[in-house]
Amino acid sequence: MDPERESSRLWRAWRTVHEMAKDRGYEISEEEITITLEEFRHQYCDGEGRPIRKNLTFKANPSPSMIKQHAPAPNQPATVGTLWVEFSAESNIGIKHMRAFAHTINSENFHTGIFICSSHPTPAAMKIVPTVLPSVIEVFLESDLLVNITKHELVPRHILLSREEKKKLLERYRLKESQLPRIQGADPVARYYGLKRGHVVKIVRKSETSGRYASYRLCM
């Protein structure tokens, strides 16, 4: 891939992952999201114009509102913490690379790590992902992030309910959790928002008759 095209792709992925972090509730500055292609190339590309992926890593802290939204049950560990995002410079991701990323997450006490690759990691490498529990590793392809899917006109707004909001919803409609419609954790929008099993999202859609209406989905 020629340098101009490669830098353009990475710039788009860079913006999307920052938008994704902000939409989840992490503290992300507006400058990080609105960076221009020219600024990106100046800061993160080498003399030939190729992106230096190791320089694209960043971390972000959860905002107070995110901490409140993800408040755990009494005597349970925190469900959010510092985020670490890393763009892999390797074209083929094997056990060694995933193990190194997992070591960073564990040794630096990050709660969530997002590992962005240019190609799918091997099945053996993906077996490393669960080993960092209770921390979380999420893997995205660069191609997954070229477009922010939540900005598409056909994708309605998704709002994660807090534990208390979920409880009140079930009580109001006299429902069991299992009676709610479902959204799979592998759904692209669920992955964008980092939804985990047991999370409930409020989905707000436009309606020609009532303006807007809301539905709810349980993440599986």
CATH number, domain with residue 208: 3.90.940.20
Residue 165 has pLDDT above 80, yes or no: yes
Residue pair 181/218 in contact (Cβ under 8 Å)? The answer is yes
pLDDT, the chain, mean = 95
Considering the domain architecture, whether residues 107 and 195 belong to the same structural domain is answered as: no
Residue that is written with structure tokens 């997450």 in the block: 105
Report the distance separating Cα 217 and Cα 202, nearest Å: 7
Report the distance separating Cα 116 and Cα 105, nearest Å: 14
* Domain count along the chain: 2
Domain containing residue 17: 3-145
What is the pTM (predicted TM-score) of this model? 0.94
Residue with the larger pLDDT of the pair 1 and 184: 184
Q: Within its chain, how far is the Cα of 30 from the centroid?
A: 17
Q: Of 89, 118, 145, which residue sits at a domain end?
A: 145
Q: For the beta carbon of residue 141, count every other beta carbon within 10 angstroms.
A: 14
Considering the domain architecture, whether residues 11 and 56 belong to the same structural domain is answered as: yes
Report the distance separating Cα 98 and Cα 122, nearest Å: 10
Considering the domain architecture, whether residues 135 and 157 belong to the same structural domain is answered as: no
Per residue in 38-91, pLDDT (tens digit) is 999 999 999 999 999 999 999 999 999 999 999 988 888 889 999 999 999 999
Considering the domain architecture, whether residues 16 and 85 belong to the same structural domain is answered as: yes
